[in-house]
Structure 1
Amino acid sequence: MIGSLPKDKSLPQLSMVIGGARSGKSRFAEGLVSASALPRLYIATAEAWDGEMRARIAAHQVDRGPGWQTVEAPHDLCAALAAVPAGHAVLLDCATLWLTNRMLAEADLEAEAAALEAALLACAAPVVVVTNELGWSIVPENALARRFRDAQGRLNQRLAASAGLVVTVIAGLPLVLKGTLP
């Protein structure tokens, strides 16, 4: 599917690709950014705390292939976005891991979400944000997990409202919820 996207199509200032775990959302988002024909910048939010996470990160790097500049920004996405040069296309992967990092740092999540939204809209380049849909499961059994699920849902709603393109990916299949694919 992604290989058939035409080259040199412009992305909206903000696009959002949302889906469940292993839904194909990152691969789809990579295809969107690659189809823009602009230099590609990958903003990574994951932190490799153990061997399993290091392996996941390595697999994502292999899947992306060559031609990506990577910026590690597990906490300060606003600074990373402010430093993006014009004339690039950005893939931010992912908002869910960033929110996890900020929650564990005991940050004010509402203030952080507002700052992130402003930074995304002010970025000098179009940004595709990958995020997880967590609301389709059962209510978590503990307060921390419920708080996170709720914060993620609010962040996703905020990003979707500001995005010119919102695509959900289920079982590797994209479904446009808002806007038009380039």
Structure 2
Amino acid sequence: MVHRRAGLQKTRRHAPTLPRARAMRSGPGIDAGTSVRPISRPPWSAGACRISTSSFVANCCIDAFPVPRISDLHGGMAKSILVTGGARSGKSLLAEQLTLQFGQPAIYVATAQAGDAEMAARITDHRSRRGDGWTTVETPLALVQTLRDTDDGSPRLVDCLTLWLSNLMLAGADWGGEAADLAASLPALQGPVVLVTNEVGAGIVPANALARDFRDAAGVVNQRIAAACDEVWLSVAGCPMRIKPQ
């Protein structure tokens, strides 16, 4: 491609396409020279959703990681699981894999609202990726009541707590009280539930007060829900790690 600016000419050479790229890594479960390639539905994808501007990142993975297994607690499977991670960390796909281990059909409890075209595209992308075996219930605010109303034994995936918190704060609701109610309700639920959240406090300090309030509130909510859940998983660069119980 040739660009002309101020009478100068510059030629851009494109990098090799993804199918030719190789990831030269070694370690448990990964052989040196494991190929990195785009696949339609990876077991661990980078992030909760795929959009066109970052399709290179979102559609590739190293497919050598084993599917994580839910631990046996007190003679049975964990009933409440929190999955956390940064943006494009693979946390939503990890949560989906964990939820489906409880069986199908599963219930997808969506807290997102399609407020603009970008969010609408993300929601559509999520639905197409999940495929069959899921029933979607939308609940931007009344999460605790929705979990009680759907507590018929079917596994549920809540995606995500961060958007739920954002909705509560924008609505002027008592987010602290809602988070406390959610934490208290989890042990009483009959069916399993997997909750997705975001690690938002690991970066720079936000420049505006509202963003700082949101960061701090998200940290408080994550701590409360993690304490109430049987298991907590962290997804880092598509690699799942169970951090509770150790």
TM-score computed with the length of structure 1 as normaliser:
0.91
Matched AA of 1:57: I
Pairing partner for 2:113 from 25, 47, 51: 47
Taking the aligned partners of 1:6 and 1:171, their CA distance within structure 2 comes to 19
Structure 2: gaps spanning 5 or more residues = 1-42, 45-65
| 1:166–1:178 Cα contact (<8 Å) kept | yes
Q: Tell me whether 1:80 sits opposite 2:155 in the alignment.
A: no
Structure 1: gaps spanning 5 or more residues = none
Cα root mean square deviation, aligned:
1.9
Taking the aligned partners of 1:148 and 1:5, their CA distance within structure 2 comes to 31
* Larger-gyration structure (1/2): 2
| 2:183–2:224 Cα contact (<8 Å) kept | yes
Matched AA of 1:50: D
| 2:86–2:199 Cα contact (<8 Å) kept | yes
Partner of 1:129: 195
Partner of 1:154: 220
Taking the aligned partners of 2:186 and 2:138, their CA distance within structure 1 comes to 16
Taking the aligned partners of 1:114 and 1:171, their CA distance within structure 2 comes to 30
Taking the aligned partners of 1:170 and 1:148, their CA distance within structure 2 comes to 22
Taking the aligned partners of 2:107 and 2:97, their CA distance within structure 1 comes to 13
Taking the aligned partners of 2:176 and 2:100, their CA distance within structure 1 comes to 32
- Cα distance change of structure 1 residues 148 and 37 upon mapping to structure 2, 3 Å threshold: same
Partner of 2:166: 100
TM-score computed with the length of structure 2 as normaliser:
0.68
Taking the aligned partners of 1:117 and 1:61, their CA distance within structure 2 comes to 27
Taking the aligned partners of 1:98 and 1:85, their CA distance within structure 2 comes to 19
Taking the aligned partners of 1:11 and 1:32, their CA distance within structure 2 comes to 11
Higher helix share: 1
| 1:33–1:90 Cα contact (<8 Å) kept | yes
Taking the aligned partners of 2:199 and 2:207, their CA distance within structure 1 comes to 18
Taking the aligned partners of 1:85 and 1:149, their CA distance within structure 2 comes to 30
Taking the aligned partners of 1:4 and 1:159, their CA distance within structure 2 comes to 24
Paired positions, count? 179
Partner of 2:52: none
Q: Tell me whether 1:21 sits opposite 2:87 in the alignment.
A: yes
Report Cα offsets for 1:103-156 as digits up to 9, x if no partner.
Answer: 000111211111121233322211100000011101111110000000000000
Q: Tell me whether 1:65 sits opposite 2:131 in the alignment.
A: yes
Taking the aligned partners of 1:163 and 1:45, their CA distance within structure 2 comes to 19
Taking the aligned partners of 1:4 and 1:173, their CA distance within structure 2 comes to 10
Partner of 1:111: 177
- For residue 197 of structure 2, give the secondary structure of its aligned residue in structure 1: strand
Matched AA of 1:110: G
Higher relative contact order (CA 8 A, sep 6+): 1
Partner of 1:145: 211
Matched AA of 1:51: A
- Cα distance change of structure 1 residues 41 and 11 upon mapping to structure 2, 3 Å threshold: farther
Deviation at 1:5, TM superposition (A): 5.2
Partner of 1:90: 156
- For residue 132 of structure 1, give the secondary structure of its aligned residue in structure 2: coil
Among all aligned residue pairs of Structure 1 and Structure 2, give the percentage whose two residues are the same amino acid: 49
| 2:106–2:135 Cα contact (<8 Å) kept | yes
| 1:84–1:124 Cα contact (<8 Å) kept | no
Which contiguous aligned blocks of 4+ residues in structure 1 show a shift greater than 6 angstroms?
A: none
